Structure 1
Amino acid sequence: MATPSSPMRSVDRAFDVLSVLEDARHPLRLSEIARRSELHVATAQRILNVLLDRGYAVREEPGYVAGPASVATAHAFLVNNRLSQVALPVLQELAATTGMTSTLYVRVGLSRVLIARVEGLNPLRYQLPIGEKLPLHLGAGKSLAAWLPEEELDAYVDSVAPFTRISGERVSAEDLRGELQRVKDDGHAVSLSERVLDVTAISAAVRRGDEVLGALSVAGPSGDLPTADHPRVITEVRRAAGAIAARCP
């Protein structure tokens, strides 16, 4: 959130409000937007008025939601982003080879955002839309979280743990740190019923040198991805992640 000493505090505050709208799953009242963005109600209202004028927010009873200008901004990113462009044929091949839905995520702050997806022969019972924001400590997010700088990783782990996965498994901060270290050491993550019940995901970071460009994942019903198939799929996912990294300038 913006700090009073920031010379760009007006811009920071506007992005704070926009981020609140991005994360909302239903219309938010002005008071709730102000609370979540840690702003005075009058300040939040002034920012919302600008966002309304620019199309980045719209009124939707009983409050406000993100506006259509956000879609145009996302489209501009997708058509100009080299990573998503070079990844698409690799995702198509990976989906065909594994039969699973293949996806590509990038890290935005302490979340991951879906920027590309190709459905497999064994489709999931749900569809994640492009632009969906998801946590780093579940599923493919672990392939991004594992490479966070140490201080940032420690702060993030302490902020989310302990937590309970959808399977009912309770995860402590110590458990999560150990798991993320194994993900980093192994070069991949296997996730079983972590965010969605009876769904297995296998992911790997897309890395160019020390830079983490994103995370590549395949996911499908756990019954279609038995443990015996994990080594083969892990190999395919890591190969695909390397191919994407090699194609990026």
Structure 2
Amino acid sequence: MIVERAYAHVGPHDAGEWPWSVPCVRQLLHDGLRFTAPVTFLVGENGSGKSTLVEALAEGFGLDSWGGSHEWRYASHRAKSVLGERIRFDAAPRGRRMLGSWSARQGFFLRAETALDALGREGLAPDARSHGEGFLAAFRDKFLRPGLYVLDEPEAALSFSSCLELLGHLDRLTRNGAQVICATHSPLLTALPGADIVEVGDHGMRRTAWRDLALVDHWRRYLAEPRAYLRHVLD
């Protein structure tokens, strides 16, 4: 493991403001978030705060909020988010070495909205590839060394088979000493054996098993009988 716990502190005058009003951020303030496996998936509905959380975790580790590797810190000239500025880590020995020395740090932040721009900046020529191939190029060419890899909905550009390829790469990466934190809506990705799954929502954050995830239940029901869902959204 590289980081074992993330936490943040906030003054009382900020307590009712965004992002401190988001349930998962409030829980981060009260309890912190422990990482107990090499891969942690954050799962929740749109607006639950999971992307806010993973962006802040990436920033806390020194990765640019626009996306990219540790080598491109502040390349986008975006200021850190108010939460990212206050993120702190309890780290394992390897993590302490990385956090203590910029030259020792390894990592990458991949966010769906800015991935192609970030990959172009990294010299991967995403315009010469399909959207999905551009994503996979990052996994093949940049996700190589032990480090902290933070992903925000990487499945957005990937087909079913490409998601399986991503899973295989993440498994090899973590076996070689990396750590992955990933926000996702994908029942395919979250099925990775040994991964820790944290469900984010109005309740805050809670650990759960893959089979108990709401998104897994909805996909199972939808594939069994699409009309049961479509009748609520189609005229």
Same fold (TM over 0.5): no
Could you say which structure has the higher helix fraction? 1
TM normalised by structure 2 equals: 0.29
- Higher RCO, 1 vs 2 (CA within 8 Å, ≥6 residues apart): 2
Flag the structure with larger Rg. Answer: 1
